[in-house]
Structure 1
């Protein structure tokens, strides 16, 4: 897989980011998008909690994530104009975290973004106060969920999962949430982690 990550130059970023950036990551099938949607519903109406709407070069929304869909050309133009705090490429798509999250952080707010384990070092370079929320599940649970999507055989899914890591590598502040059990348990867990970050 080819993956490229970019950030704005450090001197272009706001230095007064007193809020916390929480980046939610996890393997396919772990339920990351579902849990983020549930958390967003829980915190709806809270001015001190901001869920990031990513910019993605993906038409429509085939999954659970509410995002802004743009063309490759528009994404590149936005990037040149400094519209992103962090941007990266993965699996043939481009992803951007809008630069206006810096305003939310400057107000001392909690900002939550859907991220990727492969580019966490880029988030760390931009956001001085960073929390990683790693959504995981047992490999057999992931295999069952991924096989149910019908895109791969269970054998292919298991081979891919055996090669992958479910942990976050590097020196980050990480909260692991196991979503192998009930969705309600995982929902309570992610809400508890986010509640603890508010006002820190």
Structure 2
């Protein structure tokens, strides 16, 4: 079992900005992050985090470092994560070395979870949250296309899952109900604004 402890602020990271992208399944946050990473490729001041996750590397979705449960525990005990959390039976970790990039005044972008935002806030002095959402009918269509759940299960999940971020965070809402091009343009705009804040 992973020992429970509260995260604490990382000294020296206040120069840069930590951006955490959150959103419900089907909102398209993974896709928008991949497109934004391609757009900013080659820039030394924008860093997209490769998460450590206890799932197979070829399980689909984002490019991540796959580890076993025991491997994750060992990494956590060694101080390898700045933030980690559990969701849907998996463990997720943000590598501690991102503090170097933040200390250099860079923008660091990570795929996160609304349930873990308090952990990010405790660690990173400058935190921005991008909440990727979409209309309920769009979410339902995208989730049905995955074929993992029945229509009834999807509608029940959407009915009980709020699309907003609760808590005292600096949040930018990004509606990704439209075309992929529109979503990419908006994501790039938000991150460009974040860069201007850091600069």
TM-score (norm 1): 0.93
CA separation in 1, counterparts of 2:5 and 2:135? 32
Partner secondary structure for residue 162 of structure 2: coil
Contact 2:82–2:94 (CA under 8 A) maintained in structure 1:
yes
| Per-residue deviation, residues 13-35 of structure 1 (Å, max 9, x unmatched) | 32343100000000000001000
Aligned with 1:137 (options 134, 137, 142): 134
Aligned mates of 1:101, 1:75 — CA distance in 2: 18
Query: Who is 1:150 aligned against?
Result: 147
Paired with 2:15 and 2:178, the residues of 1 have a C-alpha distance of: 35
Q: Which residue of 2 aligns with 1:89?
A: 86
* Residue correspondence of structure 1 range 116-127 to structure 2 within 5 A: 116-127=113-124
Q: Partner residue of 1:36? A: 33
Deviation at 1:60, TM superposition (A): 1.6
Q: 1:16 to 1:95 in 2, by over 3 A?
A: closer
Classify the secondary structure of the residue corresponding to 2:15. coil
Divergent runs of 4+, >6 A: none
Give the distance between the partners of 1:64 and 1:37, measured in 2 at CA.
Answer: 10
Output one character per residue of 1:125-181: Cα deviation in whole Å (capped at 9) or x when no partner: 000100000000000110011011111111210111011100100111111111111
Cα distance in 2 for residues equivalent to 1:42 and 1:104 = 19
For residues 5 and 94 of structure 2, the distance between their equivalents in structure 1, rounded to whole angstroms, comes to 11
Name the SS for the 2:92 alignment partner.
Answer: strand
Uncovered stretches (5+) of structure 1, i.e. residues with no partner? none
Distance, in Å, in 2 between the alignment partners of 1:99 and 1:64 is: 22
Match of 2:104 among 97, 103, 107: 107
Q: Map residues 162-173 of structure 1 onto 2, 5 A cutoff.
A: 162-173=159-170
CA positional deviation for 1:107: 0.1
Count residues with an aligned counterpart.
Answer: 195
Asked if 2 retains the 8 angstrom alpha-carbon contact of 1:56 and 1:67, the reply is yes
Distance apart, 1:7 and its partner CA: 5.1
